[in-house]
Amino acid sequence: MTPIVHNRVLLALCLVGALAALYGEFLNSAPNRLAGSVALPLWQAPLLEAAAAMAGLGALTVLAFAAQVKLRSYATLLVAVLVLWASLSGAGHFATLLSSASPPAARYSLGATFWTLVAVALLAMLDAVQRMKLALALRVGLVAALCFGFVLMAQAGRFADLSLAKEFSSHRAIFFSELGRHLALVGAAIFFALCMGVPLTALVLRKAKACGVVFASLGIVQTIPSIALFGVLIAPLSALSRDLPFLRDLGVGGTGPAPAIIALTLYSLLPLVRSFYTGLAEVAEDVKDAAIGMGFGARNLFFAVELPLGLPALLSGLRVATIQAIGLAAVAALIGAGGLGAFVFQGVGEYALDLVLVGAIPIILLALAADFIFQMLIASARRRI
């Protein structure tokens, strides 16, 4: 009897993982931060973790042939957690062993095999969670448990000898302030975009003529590359800050947070206004007609009918705008606005890949977290319709 593949995604992931384990490098070892590196494959890593990772891949491959969804998904979750642990712990353990026998300047950075195994484990989990239709609360619990486990390992010093961790700890003091700045940039941009987007939406809903002009102009803004928009704002803002002292006192200048917030606000407007517009315009005409005919005034109609029925669309616009702003705020570091992008550009400048990751990984995690939170809000808003 030929076995049947019941989960092609899982099988494909395992293949990718196995290729990476065989042909990629698990760690890169370099004598110092700038020197060229030597690749260290997975099979040279500590036996326990290397074996666990390979066994885990093997088990996932077998699971791809399991027919029963529920059982397979639970098993996949467990095995994926094992692979994730083996990759993280293996890398940390490996680096600790190597560094005990080499000078302190030596650097051990994470290699392609490591990243591929982590990605395979996370994707296998995501796939399993979706296939088994895991309840929302359990998904939150799973994410929390994974984060908790990671923090525990980090607290125990498991990663201390990895260069990524070294970069992180040498920038720890400014890391949290840059993270705060990044969130502040995004928060301010979304706040100002809401302040402008709500009246703009009211305008396009009332005046069909304004609709074309507003969406065309917002569309043009959206097509301007972010670096260009940041650049274009420098000259007028410098002039303003030179001529109007009170603006200068507020911290407005050609560079820094002011142009960044303005640009991020402009970029956020299109997704916000477009989704607000469709959300409110698509509230069923008959429901509005009945409400008006019963004596709902404009305010009652908006708060009791249009807003709750348009809420999922409003939230999905807010989701797109937020995720987009989190990504674009990284570029704002180029004009001195700070934020996590500062690490990325500093790392690129110094040719220190690990410093780039100190900025890039939190940006990705922020975007994923924002996505996750908005998905939950949208799901709960939708449940009431």
List interacting residues with another protein (CB under 8 A).
Answer: 284, 286-297, 300, 304-305, 308-309, 384-385
- What is the separation of C-alpha 14 from the centre of its chain, rounded to a whole number of angstroms? 24
The CB-of-379 to another protein minimum distance in angstroms stands at: 15
Smaller CB separation from another protein, 88 or 309: 309
The CB-of-7 to another protein minimum distance in angstroms stands at: 34
Place of tokens 């994974």: 146
SS3 of the chain: the string is CCCCCCCHHHHHHHHHHHHHHHHCCCEEEECCCCCCCEEECHHHCCHHHHHHHHHHHHHHHHHCCCCCHHHHHHHHHHHHHHHHHHHHHHHHHHHHHHHCCCCCCCEEEECHHHHHHHHHHHHHHHHHHHHCCCCHHHHHHHHHHHHHHHHHHHHCCCCCCCHHHHHHHHCHHHHHHHHHHHHHHHHHHHHHHHHHHHHHHHHHHHCHHHHHHHHHHHHHHHHCCHHHHHHHHHHHHHHHHHHCHHHHHCCCCCCCHHHHHHHHHHHHHHHHHHHHHHHHHCCCHHHHHHHHHHCCCHHHHHHHHHHHHHHHHHHHHHHHHHHHHHHHHHHHHHHCCCCCHHHHHHHHHHCCHHHHHHHHHHHHHHHHHHHHHHHHHHHHHHHCC
The CB-of-180 to another protein minimum distance in angstroms stands at: 38
Smaller CB separation from another protein, 56 or 279: 279
The CB-of-306 to another protein minimum distance in angstroms stands at: 11
Smaller CB separation from another protein, 131 or 288: 288
Smaller CB separation from another protein, 222 or 300: 300
Smaller CB separation from another protein, 38 or 287: 287
The CB-of-210 to another protein minimum distance in angstroms stands at: 20
Smaller CB separation from another protein, 90 or 310: 310
The CB-of-327 to another protein minimum distance in angstroms stands at: 33
Contacts (Cβ under 8 Å, ≥6 apart) of 43 = 50
Strands 107-110 and 38-40, bridge-based pairing: unpaired
The CB-of-384 to another protein minimum distance in angstroms stands at: 5
* CA–CA distance, 332 with 335 (Å, rounded to integer): 6
Smaller CB separation from another protein, 6 or 288: 288
Which amino acid appears at position 369 of this protein? A
The CB-of-313 to another protein minimum distance in angstroms stands at: 14
Smaller CB separation from another protein, 8 or 299: 299
Smaller CB separation from another protein, 138 or 287: 287
The CB-of-321 to another protein minimum distance in angstroms stands at: 24
